[in-house]
Each structure stands twice: as C-alpha cells, then as structure tokens.
Structure 1
Amino acid sequence: MPNSKEIYILAIESSCDDTSAAVLHNRKMLSNVVATQRIHEEYGGVVPELASRAHQKNIVPLVHQALAKANIDKKLVSAIAFTRGPGLMGSLLVGTSFAKSLSLGLQLPLIEVNHMEAHILAHFIEEPGKTPPSFPFLALTISGGHTQIVLVRDYFQMEVLGETLDDAVGEAFDKSAKLMGLPYPGGPLIDQYAKDGDPEKFPFPIPKVDGLNFSFSGLKTSILYFLQRESQRDPDFVTRERNHICASIQHTIVRILMEKLTLASAQTGIKEIAVGGGVSANSGIREALRNAENELGWKVHIPKLEYCTDNAGMIGIVGYLKYLQGRFTDLGVTALARYSINSGN
C-alpha cells in the first residue's frame, strides 16, 4: 500500500445522467472528466433506462481518459472510490458493478461514497488560494434531487437539520421552466433570462413550512396558475414577459433558501457556510450568499463550477479522506437509491 504522501484515488460517479471519472493525488485533482448525456433533452427530463445504458457505454472510455489525462499508470492507483447512492438505481448499478470489478481485477481497496456527502466535501479539494471550511460549518446542498441544510461537525460527522418535504429546488427551477415552454434542463435558462428581468415584478408566495424544512410544490402550483391566468388574458404574455417571470421565480426561490439558511445560522450560532450541488451554480444564489457575507458576517464557501454539478472529483476527495481512516468497503456492497447522509460506511 502506498505511503500517506503518495495516495492516488481513482473515482467513479454515475448517480444520475452524468458519467464521470477522476484521479486525485492526495487532495490535488489530476483529472476530472465528465460525459453528459444529451439524449434526455428531447424527453424533457432524465429517462432512467436510457441513463443506465449510456453509463455502460461511457464508463470504460472515461476511466481510460481520466488515467491518461492524469498521466499515471493504473498500477499507481491506491484505491477505487465510487458513488454508492443516492440516485437512480440503474445508473448506480453500472458504477458500483464496474468499481467492484476493477477493485477485484487490480486487487485494490474499494471505497463507497455518499453522493450528498461528496457535494459537501468537494470544498476540501486542494485549490490554489482557496481555504476549505473550518468545522463546524453549515452546508446548503441544492440539486435536482435534493435540498438540505446540513450541520457538518467533521468530515464524517454530519446531521441534516432541514430538507425538502416534496420537490427539490432543482426540480422547482426545471418544472417552472417547463411551464414556460423552455427546454430541459430549464434551470440554467431561468438563471440566464433572469439577468435581464425585474425580480419583483411578479410576486409569488413564500411557503410556510415549520423549522428548517423546505417545500417547493406549492410554489410550482402558484406559478402554474399564474401563467395559465395571464396567458388566457394575453396569449403572448409568457414570451413578452419571459425575463421578468424568470427573474421573479428565481428571486422567490433564492429568498426561500436564504430565509431558511439564515434561520439555521441563527439557531446554531454558526456563520461558516458552504454551498454545494448543481443548483449552487445559479448566479442569483451566489450573489445572495456573497451579500450575506457583508450583511450577516458570514464566511461563505462557493465551489468552482466544475465541482457544482455531478462529477467524480468530489467522489475522489471523499475516497482520499476515507482512505486515510482505513474506511474500506467489501465486495458484497450493493447500490442504494436511498442513502442518507452519514448512514453508511
């Protein structure tokens, strides 16, 4: 086994519709390659069966590409890290089965990774001029499938303080975009059009949810009724007011997130905040977090864009941290579509 100064982790991510492979040397990223599945765009959302087939097609070439880009031989690899869950079962099975086979074939330790923990711990990838969060900190994990506020006491000591009771924030963006006739994925398009709109032109209701939990289904319904009502009066309403509608939707979603995060900070007394997940790429959320640094005295950590969306780099950093602690997985491991934070190995 390599010494602690020379740990190379080969990481695999296949939780949804992006196949990814990465190589880390300790905390430093040597390669992080992603194959995005465009086929789902014509269906308006991810089709699980098509996703798993695409993973089967992509995974071997991507692993070869990651090793070549990192310029290392597979014999130097210290361990194989992979996403065990949560995610789409068919997609997870492809990555899990491949990682197990590779581990067996190369006689290397196997390390399972929780996808949501990886979004949080991506902040510990070595970056020039970047300081990782100090424990304890609050993590806001926001993606197409998850919305959570997590208290992070240590690398693998996490507690979910609040989460969505229905739709995730990414779903709220994408479903709102679909109601406006925008193509999938619609979240980035709402962000784009919102830049040229008035965020307060069309006020939408803020859901009343106890504690630190979230709800977005009611917001989606109110947007649906609003668009139906205004379009009946004026068939060109959505086209003409698109920028303002997008800005108003984004403003409302950002406000929901920030109100809960502010409450969590007040309740815990923690002002160190880290954001992760695909929706953390949203410019409105990033701006609100930066404003909070000045207004609330927070210290905010926002990841590079490549570490926001699903990628194997974040799987690799968790693999490295678990390697240091000897937290390995046996070959009997199975994929888990539901896999809560801090519940596994």
Structure 2
Amino acid sequence: MRYVTLLRTRLAISPITRSLHHGYSRRLTVLALESSADDTCAAVVTSDRKILSNVVINQQAFLEEYGGIHPFVALHAHQRNMPGAVQRALREANITIGEVDGIAFTRGPGIPGCLSVCGNAARTLAAAVNKPLVGVHHMQAHALTPFLTSPADALPTFPFLTLLVSGGHTLLLLATSPTAFRILATSLDESIGNAFDKVAKLLQIPYSGRAPGAALERFCTSGPAVGDEDIPEIHMPRPMRGRLAFSYTGLHSTVERFLDARRGEIDERTKLGVARSFQKAAVGQLEDKLVLGMRECAQKGIRVRHLVVSGGVASNSFLRERLRACLDTESPDERVELVFPPPHLCTDNAAMIGWAAMDRFLAGDTDPYSIESRPKWSLEELEGQGELRQGA
C-alpha cells in the first residue's frame, strides 16, 4: 500500500545533491516572508542549509496592551513592518533582490488579514523581479525545521512523531514524508499557547518584553523551589483521559473560577501556585496524549525513533524536561530521540518557511502569482502534492 511505502521513506538525498540533480550548478537562495500571527518575519536561506539572515519584528507592546493578539492591530503592524523586514533581511544576507532565486511565503493557516500581508508582499516582489513563488503551510514548516537546524548526522528519520504547540495549534502528528502528515490528535477547543496567554493575563503577570506564555514560564521559575509547602498546588482537570484529543479551555477556566471565587485577591505565593499548577497540567496533557500516540503507532507496527517538537511553546524548558522523562518512561529499552529547533526558531520565523519551500523550488514545482492565502488549511491535505520533491 502507498501508505506503508510512505512510512519507509527517508530523507536520503541532501538538498545540495537534489539541486545538482535538477540541473542547478550552484546553491539556491530563497527570500521568505511570514506574517501569519503577531510576528513580522523575513529571512534568506540557502539549499545547503545556511541561514543568511532571519529578521523577526514582534508586537509585544501591543500584546501586553490588548492581552493577546488583536487581529486589526496586528494587521496594521505587519503592514508597517514588512517593508523594513524585507530590506533588513536582504542587507544582512548581503544580497540584492535580483540575486534571490525564489520567494516563499506563509500561505496558511493563520489570521486572514495577517496572512494577506506576507502573501501580497511575496506575490508583488516575485512578479516585479520575475522570480518563482512558493506558498508554504505554516505547520509543515515548523515540523521540518530540524532538517535545517540539526547536524547532518542527526537528522530525524521518517516516520517520526511531531508535537506542534503554539498560540494557534496543538497537534500530535505522524510524519511519514516531508508532505505526508497524519493528525493523531488536535485540540477540540483552544490551543495550549492560547491557554498560556490567557492564564498569564488572568494572573496579571508582567510580560517584561516577552510573549505572555514565556512570561508565565519565567514567573513559574521564580520564588521558592517546587515542593515548598508554602506554595499551594491547585487542582486542575485532566480532560479527554484515554482519548487522542486535546482540550485546554477547562484549564484556563479553572484558573478563572479560582480567581473569581477570591475576587482576584491572592498573594504572590498563591499566584505562583496557580501558575505552576496550570503549567504542570498543561504539559501533563501533552505527555498523556504522546503516550497514547506512541502506543497507537506501536500497535500498527510503526517504529518511531524521533519526536520533533516545535512551535512557540516548544521553547518552554519545563515542557522539554517533562517530554524527555515521558519518552524514557514509555520507551525504556529503545531511546526515542527528542528533537527541538533552537529556541529562536521554535517561534514563528521566516527561515523555516524558506526551508520548507526549498524542495519545491528545486523540483520546479512553483505556484502562480495569483495563488491565494488559506487561513484554514489541514496538514493532511498536503499528502501527494508532488512525488518528485519527496526526496525518496
């Protein structure tokens, strides 16, 4: 069966080898743009895994003012920031737009208005300088980032599991090729990143220039050590027990009810206890579903050797520690490697967009300038789009 064949595929040919195979006598250089949520990003990457520039302009001041992403405000910030981001990316890469071989952009999923900024900029630039264009699935780019950042002798091998955890998504995937993903579990309500942001706002944790979720993580590391009797532990629900599905609305609602019952008046030790209890439960749910996913793969004879974790929440150090312990407990006899991109490439960035587009540029499988954004776009729809670019 084709599905079984895909399970056995490996990324056996390097990008530079593929470039020679397709008639390129030099490395390809791609300008990539990203604006799917609250970061305005531009980057230049090459087919031999070099990041020549990676510009990220965040909107932290607006996030703190509005308590999260405000779509209209984010749209206008992207419109202001994108020209400068592109100019800076080219300058830092020491190239001109004429020296770029192709232009990539985030096609979806994401906030519609925000997506339109990188989409319009990429289409216009590509048409103006007569360069090929590729629209990229944002979550595919997150999943493939380790193929850009990991040492050449430590790349993930297909099939592997992927946890994509961000402000917009909570997904557990089985990746069987660069464009074949099976969704094992997704959130039935809000994402883990959104829940982190909401709890940070409820607890009135200062952002201090960080994203709300990152501010909450930092707050959890403050004060007395975990286990101190003076720090209360708040009971948190563990939804969807035994089911391959995520649910985070109940966790942040529990925090909201706890605060409402006290009219928001809690001391710093209680606030720390609430924050730590929430973080423990949020990450614990990832552990629970990961175990279920690993067991389902094992029952079907699918041998998984890597877990790739990406998305903004993947930079959380507590999450990293817990997932490592979870894998060791579930697979004590055969180590499952835990793969994280560098923290600055876990959050939204354009370097991952350029890399995810590289195989398509090399294969000559590009998009028309009329291509439209897709705010809602399932990863499973990518399967079968172009056999040549699979690298099998």
Please tell me the TM-score bracket, short chain as reference. over 0.9
The residue number in structure 1 matching 2:377 is 339
1:216 aligns with 2:242: no
TM-score (norm 1): 0.93
How much is the aligned-residue C-alpha RMSD, in angstroms?
Answer: 2.0
Paired residue for 2:272, among 227, 232, 243? 243
- With over 3 angstroms needed to count, the CA separation of the structure-2 counterparts of 1:221 and 1:99, relative to structure 1, is same
Contact 1:158 1:341 in 2 (8 A): yes
Segments of structure 1 that go 5 or more residues without pairing to the other structure are none
In structure 1, give the amino acid aligned to 2:91.
A
1:272 aligns with 2:295: no
Contact 1:111 1:328 in 2 (8 A): yes
The residue number in structure 2 matching 1:10 is 31
Measured in 2, the distance between the counterparts of 1:104 and 1:219 equals 47
The residue number in structure 1 matching 2:58 is 36
Q: Secondary structure of 1:170's partner?
A: helix
Contact 1:12 1:99 in 2 (8 A): yes
The residue number in structure 1 matching 2:214 is 188
The residue number in structure 2 matching 1:198 is 226
Q: What are the Cα deviations for residues 98-131 of structure 1, in whole angstroms up to 9, with x where unaligned?
A: 1011111111110010111111111111455772
Paired residue for 1:330, among 368, 375, 379? 368
- With over 3 angstroms needed to count, the CA separation of the structure-2 counterparts of 1:4 and 1:87, relative to structure 1, is farther
Contact 1:44 1:183 in 2 (8 A): no
Measured in 2, the distance between the counterparts of 1:76 and 1:130 equals 31
Q: How many aligned positions are there? A: 342
Deviation at 1:342, TM superposition (A): 4.0
Contact 2:157 2:305 in 1 (8 A): no
In structure 1, give the amino acid aligned to 2:337.
K
Contact 1:227 1:238 in 2 (8 A): no
Q: What are the Cα deviations for residues 209-236 of structure 1, in whole angstroms up to 9, with x where unaligned?
A: 563110111222222222233x25xx65
1:160 aligns with 2:191: no
Deviation at 1:340, TM superposition (A): 1.3
In structure 1, give the amino acid aligned to 2:220.
A
Contact 1:56 1:94 in 2 (8 A): yes
Q: Secondary structure of 1:49's partner?
A: helix
Measured in 1, the distance between the counterparts of 2:106 and 2:206 equals 29
Deviation at 1:275, TM superposition (A): 0.3
Measured in 2, the distance between the counterparts of 1:44 and 1:126 equals 32
1:21 aligns with 2:75: no
Identity %: 37
The residue number in structure 1 matching 2:315 is 281
Paired residue for 1:114, among 128, 132, 137? 137
Moved more, 211-220 or 108-117: 211-220
TM-score (norm 2): 0.82
Q: Secondary structure of 2:55's partner?
A: strand
The residue number in structure 1 matching 2:112 is 89
1:52 aligns with 2:75: yes
Q: What are the Cα deviations for residues 308-334 of structure 1, in whole angstroms up to 9, with x where unaligned?
A: 111001101111122223321111211
Q: Secondary structure of 1:300's partner?
A: strand
